[in-house]
Amino acid sequence: MSPLQKVMRWAGMFALIGAFSSGTLHAEEVTVAVAANFSAPAQKIAAAFVAATGHKAKVVVGSTGKLYAQIKNGAPFQVLLSGDDETPARLGKEGAGVVASQFTYATGRLVLWSRQAGVVDDKGEVLRSGHFDHLALADPKLAPYGAAAVEVMATLGLSASLRPKLVQGESIGQAYQFVSSGNAALGFVALSQVMVGGKIAEGSAWVVPANMHSPLRQDAILIKIGKDNVAAASFMAFLRSDAAKAVIRSFGYEV
């Protein structure tokens, strides 16, 4: 029986983690590919996972589209924490992912954010005013949050008027950097990037209503090359734990 099958069979996940911690099973290393919007929570979850299991965990961050391409080209990732649910499903259909392992680990929220207080109002009317030079977003072809931003602009009927002001980052992480550095006055970023302790850490923001774009369901999947990796199976299990869920919620995600 493979490690993945064992995880799926054992409902008592913490019994499995306890076995790892006590040294019953040999410690291994898992490399986790993580969508840029989930970088901060992933680092915290990885640290908690290492402490709980004794396994090693390496986090590699990038846009979902870029991570997909890397996996298809043989990158040594055992787990993908995607920014959407379509990419893991695609990997499963193409034989690069273990279909039975896929599940939604978080649902994200999009936010229009400026590092300056008073720039973004609580209804996003600043987008209609046009009183800004640049609006940052992630590349919608590579990043689910970028695609969501495009949907929001279309829903508001502002696609044409905002197009000349758009600056695209490869990932939501780069879009955030554009705004954080002041190169863009405001931008569409992930709520998780600007939330600390349950509130917006600085600047001004409009949390976009969830009904203005497709749900940002973020799925995890075990990559085929990791199906016999004990640490990879354990990480997938740990991601469902109360400890991991608490971290995820603290960054503004729904679980």
Q: How many CB atoms neighbour CB 242 within 10 A? A: 9
Could you tell me the pTM of the whole model? Answer: 0.80
Task: Give the DSSP letter of residue 223.
Answer: B
pLDDT at 1: 53
**Closest-CA residue to 108 (of 249, 240, 204):** 249
Q: Bigger pLDDT: 170 or 19?
A: 170
SS3 labels along 145-169: HHHHHHHHHHHCCCHHHHHHHEEEE
Does residue 6 carry a pLDDT above 60?
A: no
41-71 pLDDT, tens digit each: 999 999 999 999 999 999 999 999 999 999 9
pLDDT at 101: 98
* 3 state DSSP class of 71: helix
Domains and CATH numbers, the chain: 3-107+217-250 (3.40.190.10), 110-207 (3.40.190.10)
Reported confidence tier of residue 219, pLDDT bands at 50, 70, 90:
very high
The share of the chain scoring above pLDDT 70, in percent, equals: 90
Does residue 94 carry a pLDDT above 50?
A: yes
Does residue 74 carry a pLDDT above 70?
A: yes
The CA distance from 171 to 245, in Å, is 24
The share of the chain scoring above pLDDT 90, in percent, equals: 84
The CA distance from 255 to 252, in Å, is 10
The CA distance from 20 to 230, in Å, is 9
The CA distance from 155 to 209, in Å, is 11
134-144 pLDDT, tens digit each: 999 999 998 99
**Closest-CA residue to 179 (of 151, 169, 170):** 169
Q: What's the half-sphere exposure (Cβ side, CA atoms, 13 Å) at 203?
A: 24
